[in-house]
């Protein structure tokens, strides 16, 4: 029997970017070093959650006519779903793998659940972000279907970014933000496929050097310089 593997929807997104880094992080426990992390995005995320939570069972104007249904109204459930420890999970007996992770927010259209993720950015997004978040949204659809909910194999990304600064006087300013919303077409089968691929990678030998990966290239260059 295989040793049990625990994965997260966000972590699985790393697999598509670089199998070697994914392996190193999960198996060798060597994660990418983190630089200085700005606190403003975290503060914005917290404020946006509070804003959306004040509209449970309806939609704020920034979402009206852009997404189906309303914001999921059961706040007690949503609080559990936002924490990976208490959120629903997907388990595959054959692969002995569990996938779990907290979700940002959820829409409900009739009795159908639709993942909603709010992202803060420094500028207007130029793409829908599927290159970063598609796997994550695929996995949320799989997890919630597996938990017995109806899903539609779609998700929405709401980007919030600053537009202008206004002087309010008395040393006060206000910042106006714009929003841009994208629909992602999701696939439960695609989520299952990447979970199977992740298990294959993690249970196999260390993947080869990836010349397209910025981090792998940096490490290779550093090692070559250290040998000189």
Domain residue spans of the chain: 5-226
Buried b (16+ CB within 10 A) or exposed e, 194-218: bbeebbebbeeeeeeebeebeebee
pLDDT, one tens digit per residue, over 15-31 is: 988 999 999 999 999 88
Q: What is the pLDDT of residue 69?
A: 98
Q: What is the pLDDT of residue 54?
A: 97
Local confidence band at 5 (pLDDT 50, 70, 90 cut-offs): very high
pLDDT, one tens digit per residue, over 93-132 is: 999 999 999 999 999 999 999 999 999 888 999 999 999 9
pTM summary value:
0.91
The string of DSSP codes covering 43-72 is HHHHHHHHHHHTTTTS--TTTTTTSSSEE-
Q: Does domain 5-226 have CATH number 3.90.320?
A: yes
Dihedral sign of CA atoms 169, 170, 171, 172 in order = negative
**CA 103 to chain centroid:** 8
- 15 close to 24: Cβ distance less than 8 angstroms: no
If one compares 159 and 34, the residue with the highest pLDDT of the two is: 159
- 139 close to 9: Cβ distance less than 8 angstroms: yes
pLDDT, one tens digit per residue, over 61-72 is: 999 999 999 999
If one compares 44 and 26, the residue with the highest pLDDT of the two is: 26
pLDDT, one tens digit per residue, over 176-226 is: 999 999 999 999 999 999 999 999 999 999 999 999 999 889 888 888 888
Distance CA 157, CA 179 (A): 10
Please name which of 54, 80, 52 lies closest in space to residue 181, comparing C-alpha atoms. Answer: 52
Kindly state the tokens that stand for 65. Answer: 């006519």
Distance CA 82, CA 204 (A): 32
Q: What is the pLDDT of residue 225?
A: 83
Local confidence band at 1 (pLDDT 50, 70, 90 cut-offs): low
């Amino acid at each position: 029997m295989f040793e049990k593997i625990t994965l997260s929807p966000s972590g699985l997104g790393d697999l598509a970017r670089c199998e070697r880094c994914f392996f190193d992080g999960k198996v060798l426990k060597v994660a990418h070093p983190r630089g200085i992390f700005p606190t403003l995005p975290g503060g914005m995320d917290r404020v946006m959650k509070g804003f959306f939570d004040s509209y449970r069972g309806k939609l704020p104007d920034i979402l009206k006519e852009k997404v189906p249904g309303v914001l999921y109204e059961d706040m007690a459930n949503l609080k559990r779903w936002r924490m990976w420890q208490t959120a629903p999970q997907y388990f595959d007996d054959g692969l002995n793998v569990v996938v779990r992770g907290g979700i940002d927010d959820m829409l409900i259209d009739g009795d159908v659940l639709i993942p909603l993720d709010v992202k803060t950015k420094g500028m207007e997004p130029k793409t829908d972000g599927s290159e970063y978040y598609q796997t994550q949204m695929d996995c949320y659809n799989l997890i919630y279907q597996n938990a017995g909910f109806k899903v539609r194999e779609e998700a929405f990304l709401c980007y919030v970014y600053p537009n202008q600064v206004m002087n309010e006087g008395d040393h006060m300013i206000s910042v106006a933000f714009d929003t841009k919303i994208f629909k992602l077409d999701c696939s439960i089968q695609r989520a299952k496929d990447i979970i199977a691929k992740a298990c294959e990678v993690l249970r196999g030998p260390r993947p080869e050097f990836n010349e397209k990966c910025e981090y792998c290239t940096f490490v290779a260059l550093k090692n070559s310089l250290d040998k000189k």
